[in-house]
Amino acid sequence: MAKKKPESKNSDNSDAELNRELLHSMLLQRRFEERTAEAYALGKIGGFCHLYIGQEAVSTGSISLLRPDDYIITTYRDHGQALARGMTPRAVMSELFGRVDGCAHGKGGSMHMFDKSLGFLGGHGIVGAHVPLGTGVGFAIKYRGGDQVCVCFMGESVVNTGAFHEALNMAGLWKLPVVYVIENNRYGMGTSLERASAIHDIYERGAAYNMPRAQCDGQDVFAVRAAVQEAIDRARTESTPTLLEVRTYRFMGHSMSDAVSGTYRSKAELDEYMKRDPIALLRMHMHEQNQLTDEDLQKMDEEIKAVCQDAWDFADASPEPPLEALYEDVYVDTTSDAITEPVAAN
């Protein structure tokens, strides 16, 4: 595969059409998650469920820069990234409802969204454990001599796990094309960064792995795009990993069972951060640039709400998985005896 030079730095914020796409992506995640919360309250969604509200500029900003053949791997807070990558709201909502039309046919649920065709390698539920996996994807890209990249999203609490350290050490050592995006939303469940990490500018941890590193504003989609683009370029053209700390905030509780504010963060703090709602910031920018009228926005919002309603209705009507699915997909039938010819890595 030919190695292409990037065409722009993507910090440009004047492209009206692009800005509309970014806004649409972020607003879809917001409205979708609002309906997710509603469905959870009604008992249509079970288990653990972690909403993405407040962090939409991170998913949209990063994923909007990827090629179709690039890879994404992430944590259990994965609905937003799945939608940003182009998974249909129907497939995501059906998965949340535990129905057969879900992206994992109801076997994964909220924390485990997967779509192989989109290079979406899953939401993973053990904090830190997916970081070596994303590193392995980078290894495979390098092994095959490709110029794809893998974006590995994680919360800031991941940086205190052994898996993070082990994986980033190897990525730095072997120069793997991985962009590690830390979504620093300030809290690992209810424990603040300051109560969990010995250093607070956590992108500096990249120094331990001889890894290029940066910090950016996660509420400003253009700032995210500028930082991620630089990291992607570095991965694609130099096969070099980057540790990027994106400072964001979740507007909801850790999961559906967690109050929005109370024990570990105050209402005042939440209100302060909500003044920098990433969708509002983008909307205001577009208003200032005369790229978006109130009517445009209302129309977009109504369309998105209709899409989310459609996803809900579709998921509600989708059948539960058949009982025989219980024992399916534990193993695949192996091809071990069938393959006799030499096989190339590509």
Partner 1 sequence: MPVITYRDALNRALREEMQRDDRVFLMGEEVAVYQGAYKVSKGLLQEFGEMRVVDTPITELGFAGVGVGAAMVGLRPIIEFMTWNFGVLALDQVLNSAAKLLYMSGGQFNIPIVFRGPNGAALQLSAQHSQAFESWLAHIPGVKVVTPGTPYDALGLLKAAIRDDNPVCFLEGEMLYNTKGEVPDEEYVIPLGKADLKREGSDCSIITSGKMALLAMTVADQLAKENIHIDVVDLRTVRPMDVEAIKTSVEKTNRAVVLEEGWEICGIGTQVVDYIQRECFDSLDAPVVRVHQADVPMPYAKNLERAAKPDAAKTIAAVKKVMYL
Q: Which residues bind partner 1 (CB under 8 A)?
A: 71, 73, 102-108, 112, 114-116, 121-122, 124-126, 129-143, 162-163, 165-167, 169-170, 173, 328-337, 339, 342-346
Whichever of 61 and 119 has its CB closer to partner 1, that residue is: 119
Angle value at C-alpha 279, between 66 and 116, nearest 5 degrees: 30
Whichever of 164 and 203 has its CB closer to partner 1, that residue is: 164
Whichever of 152 and 304 has its CB closer to partner 1, that residue is: 152
**Cβ neighbour number for residue 48 with a 10 Å cutoff:** 13
Write out the two tokens for 205.
Answer: 């941890």
Least distance between partner 1 and beta carbon 214 (Å)? 23
Least distance between partner 1 and beta carbon 346 (Å)? 8
Whichever of 198 and 330 has its CB closer to partner 1, that residue is: 330
Give the type of residue at 156: E
Least distance between partner 1 and beta carbon 293 (Å)? 42
Whichever of 56 and 115 has its CB closer to partner 1, that residue is: 115
Helix H, strand E, coil C: the string for 17-83 is HHHHHHHHHHHHHHHHHHHHHHHHHCCCCCCCCCCCCCCHHHHHHHHCCCCCCCEEEECCCCHHHHH
Residue 124 is classified by DSSP as: -
| Token pair 């949209």 in the structure block, residue | 60
Least distance between partner 1 and beta carbon 3 (Å)? 18
Least distance between partner 1 and beta carbon 159 (Å)? 14
C-alpha span between 205 and 208 (Å, rounded) = 6
Write out the two tokens for 42.
Answer: 């009604």
Contact 244, 231 (CB under 8 A): yes
Whichever of 79 and 105 has its CB closer to partner 1, that residue is: 105
Least distance between partner 1 and beta carbon 20 (Å)? 32
